[in-house]
Structure 1
């Protein structure tokens, strides 16, 4: 069985919206608001090397697909590995190399049953919340940024119907720019 890892840049108040660009009023908050410290981002390189597949929602796919394929040095492994877009509305065949559409969380559960390295989930707040509610998330890789954004898409659902999850901290680090790395396993 494959491990499903949700990886996010997240503000201290839980917002994951537009960390590198996008429609949030403070889009790009990861690099505009916090000084760059290379060590804080080492987990991103490790994720790319260890992942066996990438999973994303339609909106993240539409943001990543036009950009990441041209970033050969930064995203070589991601560009080569199998990628899955969870969408009920995407009708055009994906153009990003080695990308397939899956239509439901049941399809994601089937992917987890296969062989291979971890399935990494980038972006996709709605997808991450759905995966968590369905009990499909095994691990969270969070880079917590020392900013409060106040509003925007959040990683964790803000409703009484959200599934409770107990998490175990398995790795942590703090960096001189205030970023905190927190890796949590979901306790089952």
Structure 2
């Protein structure tokens, strides 16, 4: 069985929209694109490098796919991430499968969640989610994420597309690794750990 892993940049209030640049995603009038730029440092680069150390295939929503497809093919393969992203299989949730022009792109149709369950049950590299806020909500609602790596930035953005919506399936996660960058970014990796186990701090009525 393959794992589905998410790596996401988020603000303290859970916004993950347009981390890379001002014009990356202005939906909803978002004005803070590029909010990760001035926090980047060597520990963050090492954390991201570890994300791509093991074999993977990309799992992308259509908007993120279009952003990546406009950027990474233009980056020389001397960049290790560009070399990986351009070469690996890209699984894309889209209603326009005929318009996927980036090399090794495959559409998840007609039902992306059903297609992902089939992919997950098969053999092959892990499926790595990047961005893709709309697809991500479907993954969370379907309890399909095995691992979540979050880079949480010391910023409050106020509005924008958020990591967790109201439809996420309840579940427990276990912290596997954490560290803090020199710029105050908390980097943490969580793995799925079964169901939520509830308890109570209420005092015994007889006590």
**Fold shared, TM-score > 0.5 on shorter chain:** yes
Which residue of 75, 81, 84 maps to 1:77? 84
- Is the contact between residue 51 and residue 119 of structure 1 (CA under 8 Å) also seen in structure 2? no
- Is the contact between residue 102 and residue 108 of structure 1 (CA under 8 Å) also seen in structure 2? yes
Which residue of 111, 120, 129 maps to 2:137? 129
Aligned ranges for residues 36-51 of structure 1 at < 5 Å?
A: 36-51=40-55
- What is the CA-CA distance between 1:146 and the residue it aligns to? 0.7
- What is the CA-CA distance between 1:37 and the residue it aligns to? 1.1
Q: C-alpha distance in 1, partners of 2:55/2:164?
A: 23
- Is the contact between residue 39 and residue 185 of structure 2 (CA under 8 Å) also seen in structure 1? no
Matching residue of 1:64 = 68
Encode CA deviations 1:117-155: one digit per residue, 9 max, x unaligned.
211000011111110110110000111111110110001
Larger Rg: 2
- What is the CA-CA distance between 1:79 and the residue it aligns to? 1.1
Where do 5+ consecutive residues of structure 2 fail to align? 195-207
- Is the contact between residue 53 and residue 120 of structure 1 (CA under 8 Å) also seen in structure 2? yes
- Is the contact between residue 97 and residue 107 of structure 2 (CA under 8 Å) also seen in structure 1? no
- What is the CA-CA distance between 1:55 and the residue it aligns to? 0.4
Q: C-alpha distance in 1, partners of 2:16/2:162?
A: 5
Where do 5+ consecutive residues of structure 1 fail to align? none
